[in-house]
Amino acid sequence: MNQIGIDVSNETLDATRQQAKSLTRRQFPNTPAGHRACIRWALQGTDVAQVCCEATGIYHLQLALCLHAHPHIELMVLNPCAARRFAQAHMVRAKTDAIDADGLLLFLQRMPFQPWSAPPETVLQLQSLAHRMGQLGQEVVRERCRLHAAHKAGPHTRMVQRDIKAHIKQLQRRLQRIREHTAQTIQHDASLANDARLIDSAPGFAELSVIKLLAELAALPDDMVPAQWVAQAGLDPRPVESGTSQRSPRRISKQGNVRIRAALYMPALVAAHHDEHVSAYYQHLLNQGKPKMVALTAVMRKLLHALWGMLHHQQEWDGNKFYRLDPA
C-alpha cells in the first residue's frame, strides 16, 4: 500500500509518496485534471493508497472530495494545528511546500489513521448559503454605520446618504432572496428539515439562528460525542496549571468553529432570560458567584449538549432534561 502526504496551496499540490522503501516527490496543479493525475500517481503499483492532506481553508476541499469518492483511496484530512505541532516536535525549522508534504507523510506513518468523511452535497450547499447570509448581514451593519457617520457629518453628505440607503435596500433584497433559497434547500432534504424542526423547538432559536447552527452541525461526523461537539465549538474549558504557583482561571479554548459559538450566543442569551429551565440554571451559576459571561458561556455549552441529545435521539426540547426545577 502506498502512503502519500499532500501539501495543498492555491495553485499546486506538493506530494510525497512512500512506495516500499523508495520516496518520490511530485507536484500537480490544484485543478480537476491535476487531482486525477495525482490519484493515478498515488495508485501506481498498488491497489490501495492512504493519503494525508492538511485542511487549508477552501483550497483542499475539491481535492478531498475527489479523493474521498475514489474507492481505492483512504483519506485523512489533518487539522493544521496538529500538523504544525507535529513538525515542531520533530524540530523541523524550515518551512517549504515539499517539507510540509514530507511532514504530512510522516504523520500518516506514525499516528493513528482517522478517515475523513465528506459532508453530503446538500450540507455543503447549505453551508455556502449560510456563510453568504452572514457576509451580507455584516455588510448591512457596516453600511448602517457609514450612514450614521455621513448623517452626523452634515448636509453636504446628502448624496452619499442616498447612495448608502440604496445600497442597504439592495443588500437586504439579496439577503432575503438567499434566505428564502436556504429555507427551500432545508425543506427539500428530509433529514435537514427534521433536524431544523428539532433545533427550532429549543428556546431562543428562530429561523436565522437555526439556519446558521444547522449549517455547521450537519457537517460534523455522526459518530462524534457531546464533548467533541463542545471542543469543535471551542467551548471546552482550558486549564492552565503548573506546579504550585500557577493557577490561572479556566477559560474556554476558542480553538474550534467560531460560527458555532456565534450561532449559539444569542439563543443562549434569550433562553437565559425567557425560558424557566435555562433561566434557573443561569441563576444557579450566578448564585455560585460566577460572572455573567462565564455563566452564559456555561449555558451555551450545556445547550450544545442538549442539542446533541435532541438530534441523536430525535426528540424535541424537554426543559427538565436541561435543568430540573426545584419543586419548592
Band (pLDDT 50/70/90 cuts) for residue 252 is confident
- Average predicted confidence (pLDDT) for the chain: 93
Write the single-letter amino acid at 156: H
Same domain, 17 and 78: yes
Residues 105 and 143 placed together within one structural domain of the fold: no
How confident is the model over 108-134, as a mean pLDDT?
94
Are 62 and 146 in the same domain? no
In a domain, 116, yes or no: no
Domain shared by 173 and 233, yes or no: no
Helix (H) or strand (E) holding 292: helix 292-313
Across-strand partners of 52? 5, 76
Residue 328: per-residue pLDDT: 59
Same domain, 237 and 164: no
Domain total in the chain: 3
Please check whether residue 35 lies inside any domain of the structure.
yes
**Residue 140 shares a structural domain with residue 102:** no
Residue 199 within a domain: no
> Is residue 260 in a domain?
yes
Question: Looking at residue 9, what is its pLDDT?
Answer: 93
* Residue 50, domain member (yes or no): yes
| Residues 139 and 70 reside in one and the same domain | no
Last residue of a domain, one of 72, 89, 110: 110
Percent of the chain with pLDDT over 70: 99
pLDDT of residue 34: 95
Decide if pLDDT at 60 tops 70. yes
| More confident call, 62 vs 242 | 62
Both 299 and 261 in a single domain?
Answer: yes
Note the pLDDT of residue 251.
85
Q: Indicate which CATH number applies to the domain containing 74.
A: 3.30.420.40
The answer to whether residue 280 sits within a structural domain is yes
58 lies in some domain: yes
Q: Look at the block and give the residue holding cell 455522526.
A: 222
CA–CA gap between residue 62 and residue 83 (Å, rounded) = 20
Residue partners of 95: CB distance under 8 A and separation at least 6: 87
* pLDDT for residue 111 is more than 90: yes
The residue out of 84, 110, 136 marking a domain boundary is 110
Residue 237 has pLDDT above 90, yes or no: no
Are both 236 and 288 inside the same structural domain? yes
pLDDT tier at 300 (50, 70, 90 boundaries)?
A: very high
> 154 and 224 share a domain?
no
- The pLDDT score that the predictor gives to residue 22 is 84
Of the three residues 87, 110, 133, the one that is the final residue of a domain is 110
Q: What is the pLDDT of residue 249?
A: 77
Residue 322 has pLDDT above 80, yes or no: yes
Q: Is the pLDDT of residue 188 over 90?
A: yes
Q: For residue 280, give its domain range.
A: 216-322
Name which of 232, 229, 228, 220 is nearest 257 in CA terms: 232
- In terms of domains, do 177 and 224 share one? no
The DSSP string of 60-107 is THHHHHHHHHSTTEEEEEEPHHHHHHHHHHTT-----HHHHHHHHHHH
- The answer to whether position 290 is within a domain reads yes
pLDDT band, residue 72 (cuts 50/70/90): very high
**Cα 146 to Cα 234: distance, rounded to the nearest angstrom:** 33
Phi, psi of 238 (to 5 degrees): -115, 100
Percent of the chain at pLDDT > 90 equals 84
User: Is the domain of 223 the same as that of 159?
Assistant: no
Q: pLDDT category, 241, cuts 50, 70, 90? A: confident
